[in-house]
Amino acid sequence: MKSTAKLFAVATALTITASQVQAGAVMDDVKANDEVICLVNPNSPGFSVPDSQGVFQGFNTEFCRMTAAAILGDADKASIRGIGFSDSMKTIVAQKAHMASRSITRTGTRDANPGMSFVVTTFYDGQGFMVPKKLGVKNASELSGATVCAEEGSTTLLNIADWFTDNDMQYKVENINDKSARMQAFFSGKCDVLASDLTALASDRQLAKTPSDYVLLPNIISNEPLTLVARPDTAFETAIFWSFQVMLNAERLGVTSENIDQVVADLDNQPKAVQRLLGSDSAAGEMATALGLVDDWSYQIIKQVGNYGEVYDKHLGSQTALDITRDGTFNALVSNGGLLYPHPIR
């Protein structure tokens, strides 16, 4: 038994050493330039929008900051850049950015593209429709003959075609890539309907002069797993994946950006799962060494960014203009009936 244990220890050490040596070109570039270049939607209230200082704020930006905190120890070393939908994936494939956190749906054909990797889903969404309240439309089944504004290059156009064809309904489409032009077309009445992910519609409604003049229809016509996209690099992708798991585990265990210092100060008396999440001599410390992260990576993520629930409530929750319900949806933790399943830090 002792000899087997020794062999296992040696094998584990060799595995860790190999993973450190084979860090990957993207991870190396992030460390060499001391920044994570992360792409977001240029104007999506609640998800990514520049503040008065030109700094992007929002739900999606937090996962850029999460990655920088884990790899570089400083969330502010995320270089967050606004970019259009189609250009974001082209930029990743062209190796001009490290990752994108801008509500990109993971699909089979996109996943097959060798120039980008879909790492982890941060939000489960679905496509819907927004209409002016004055039209009196209550259901998408009433949209026959409508002109629909949609974004070029997105899954939206395919979903629209499926929906109207399956329901034997006629429609016209205004395929507009530029978001400002698309919103102007919708708000000016050139289009009867704006089609997009429901969260995007909730965000876009805030761009209207009077948001209450527009309503989201109840129909959800597609599945849209919104996923972080990275340049292919196993080390970098693994760092992003486990950083997100830290945020989920922190929520499950009740560790927040507000109480984490108190938790760490009394770590020996915390539940074992919390000790593994935050202890430098436990799983988190071993992972830091194996994955090439800063020693206190899990602490820095939670302290600087927060757990998943904190981030959601801050940008999308009931106290925000978007007021997007989480309870009872796929975006709740699995313990609350959702699809967010914290992987074990051990």
Using pLDDT thresholds of 50, 70 and 90, give the confidence band for residue 160.
Answer: very high
How many Cβ atoms sit within 10 Å of the Cβ of residue 260?
21
- Looking at the fold, whether 76 and 215 belong to one and the same domain comes out as no
Q: Quick one: what percent of the chain has pLDDT higher than 70?
A: 93
Which of residues 190, 222, 254 is at a domain's end? 222
Give per-residue pLDDT as tens, 172-204. Answer: 999 998 899 999 999 999 999 999 999 999 999
pLDDT score for 329: 95
Least confident of 6-20, 58-72, 162-176, 184-198: 6-20
Q: How many domains does the chain have?
A: 2
Counting every residue written for the chain, the total comes to 346
- Looking at the fold, whether 168 and 114 belong to one and the same domain comes out as no
Helices (H), 73-171: 85-93, 108-111, 156-166
- Looking at the fold, whether 188 and 259 belong to one and the same domain comes out as no
Is there a contact between 225 and 126 (Cβ–Cβ < 8 Å)?
A: no
- Give a yes or no: residue 4 inside a domain: no
pLDDT score for 130: 98
- Give a yes or no: residue 346 inside a domain: no
- Looking at the fold, whether 182 and 193 belong to one and the same domain comes out as yes
- Looking at the fold, whether 218 and 229 belong to one and the same domain comes out as no
Distances (CA, A) of 341 to 59, 120, 200, 245: 19, 11, 24, 8
Q: Tell me the whole-structure pTM to 2 decimals.
A: 0.89
- Looking at the fold, whether 254 and 319 belong to one and the same domain comes out as yes
Is there a contact between 97 and 134 (Cβ–Cβ < 8 Å)?
A: no
Which residue segment(s) compose the domain that 184 sits in?
127-222
Sheet holding 78-82, edge to edge: 78-82, 36-40, 99-105, 224-230, 117-125
Using pLDDT thresholds of 50, 70 and 90, give the confidence band for residue 23.
Answer: low
- Give a yes or no: residue 343 inside a domain: no
pLDDT score for 15: 43
- Looking at the fold, whether 322 and 242 belong to one and the same domain comes out as yes
CATH of the domain at 216: 3.40.190.10
- Looking at the fold, whether 234 and 119 belong to one and the same domain comes out as yes
pLDDT score for 43: 92
Task: Report the candidate in 117, 193, 113, 208 with the shortest Cα–Cα distance to residue 159.
Answer: 193
